[in-house]
Amino acid sequence: MSETLNKIRTNVVVRARKSEELSKRISRATKQFKKAFQNQDVLLSDIYATELECLVESYEKNGKLLQESVAQLDGDDLHRWN
């Protein structure tokens, strides 16, 4: 039981860190996109727009996995206290 709980906790930490990393990457890509758009660089704008789409998709998937891991922790805590 303890080993499973440790794995779930590790998953939560890993997913939370990945969310932070993806958030930073989204912020950087957004700034790069805005700059390319302002400079009317169509090719770079398209590249950064595609990168943003991929990053946001990864962020959303990671968020769902993080929620599932947290729900597992919550469920495990409920079982231990009942």
- The pTM for the full model equals 0.80
- DSSP-derived letter for residue 32 is H
In this prediction, residue 74 carries a pLDDT of: 80
- Per-residue pLDDT tens over the stretch 17-64: 999 999 999 999 999 999 999 999 999 999 999 999 999 999 999 999
What does the angle CA 8 – CA 9 – CA 14 come to, to the nearest 5 degrees?
Answer: 95
Query: What pLDDT score was predicted for residue 33?
Result: 97
Alpha-carbon gap, residue 26 to 24, rounded angstroms: 5
